[in-house]
Amino acid sequence: MKGLIQFSRGIDRMTTWIGQGVSWLILAAVLVSATNAVVRKAFDLSSNAWLELQWYLFGAVFMLAAAWTLQKNEHVRIDVISSRLKQRTRIWIDLICHIGFLMPFATLMVWLSWPFFWRSWSSGEQSMNAGGLILWPAKFLVLLGFIILIMQGISEIIKTVAILHGDLPPPGDSDEDHLPPELREHAHFVHQIDEGQTSGGRADA
Q: What is the pLDDT, as a whole number, of residue 112?
A: 94
**What is the C-alpha to C-alpha distance for residues 126 and 118, in angstroms, rounded to an integer?**
14
Residues of the chain with pLDDT under 70: 75-83, 172-205
Q: What is the pLDDT, as a whole number, of residue 176?
A: 45
Q: What is the pLDDT, as a whole number, of residue 147?
A: 95
Backbone dihedral region for residue 58 (phi beyond 0: left; psi -120 to 50: alpha; all else: beta): alpha
**What is the C-alpha to C-alpha distance for residues 124 and 144, in angstroms, rounded to an integer?**
19
Segment 110-148, tens digit of pLDDT = 999 999 899 989 888 888 877 778 888 889 999 999 999
Q: What is the pLDDT, as a whole number, of residue 190?
A: 47
Helix (H, G, I), strand (E, B) or coil at 21: helix
Q: What is the pLDDT, as a whole number, of residue 83?
A: 66
**What is the C-alpha to C-alpha distance for residues 108 and 64, in angstroms, rounded to an integer?**
17
Q: What is the pLDDT, as a whole number, of residue 174?
A: 44
> What's the DSSP call for residue 134?
B
Q: pTM for the full model?
A: 0.74
Q: Cβ distance 145 to 22 under 8 Å?
A: no
Amino acid (one-letter) located at 79: D
φ/ψ of 125, rounded to 5, equals -55, 135
Q: What is the pLDDT, as a whole number, of residue 148?
A: 94
Average pLDDT, the chain: 80
Q: Cβ distance 53 to 32 under 8 Å?
A: yes
Q: Cβ distance 102 to 76 under 8 Å?
A: no
Q: What is the pLDDT, as a whole number, of residue 27?
A: 92
List residues bridging with 134 in a β-sheet: 126
